[in-house]
Amino acid sequence: EVQLLESGGGLVQPGGSLRLSCAASGFTFSGYGMTWVRQAPGKGLEWVSTIIHTGGSTYYADSVKGRFTISRDNSKNTVYLQMDSLRAEDTAIYYCVKGRDGYYSNWGQGTLITVSS
Amino acid sequence: DIQMTQSPSTLSASVGDRVTITCRASQSISSWLAWYQQKPGKAPKLLIYKASSLESGVPSRFSGSGSGTEFILTISSLQPDDFATYYCQQYNSYSRTFGQGTKVEIK
């Protein structure tokens, strides 16, 4: 069974940093691209970032480009999202998602990031 | 970026109704479209991929159709478990985008 377990969420001040982790199990992690999708309170889904299976290519939404960095450690079956220069509008639930040919077959339970002073 | 527009934003329906949700892309995305269902407090769940392929384990009352810029999600006979919010998502470009969502409410 595929499991995706996010951690690292919490309250952070504007301008601060946070690193999210997602521990994956139940599938061959090194064979799949991984993605972060977020959802602001009461709002819709927003794609944030994707990293291909090797880690060799990464992609970002314009709203986070230059502030967020996605990475992965295939030896630890873990994907990360380093979030710097956080803004109030980054407040959201962040979901770790397993990609399959561009769509998202498995989702974690999400971790809440609140950016507030 | 490719914009995805869903209609309606909210839909009121009764158990047993046939329900259709439309998703329009701002440019052609061939058949690179997925549909998700989300219930309050839960993560989204994949229903349909490649516009019309039913994900394993999803009830056959769900179906998808369309290509190019217009797509439809159909629930043939609405069940109590289907009251939720539905999202479309394009994966034609690496800058993935979702529709704004359609909430299916009890009439």
Minimal Cα distance from A44: which residue of B? B100
pLDDT in tens, A53-87: 999 999 999 999 999 999 999 999 999 999 999 99
* Chain B partners within 8 Å of A107 (Cβ): 43-45
Alpha-carbon gap, residue A116 to A91, rounded angstroms: 8
Question: Does residue B89 contact residue B4 with C-beta atoms inside 8 Å?
Answer: yes
Chain A CB contacts of B98 below 8 Å: 44-47
| Tens digit of each residue's pLDDT (9 = 90 or more) over B44-92 | 999 999 999 999 999 999 999 999 999 999 999 999 999 999 999 999 9
With a cut of 90, say whether residue B94 has pLDDT above it.
no
Helix and strand numbers, DSSP H then E, in chain A: 0, 11
Interchain contact, A104 vs B34, CB within 8 Å = yes
Helices first, then strands: H and E counts in chain B:
0, 11
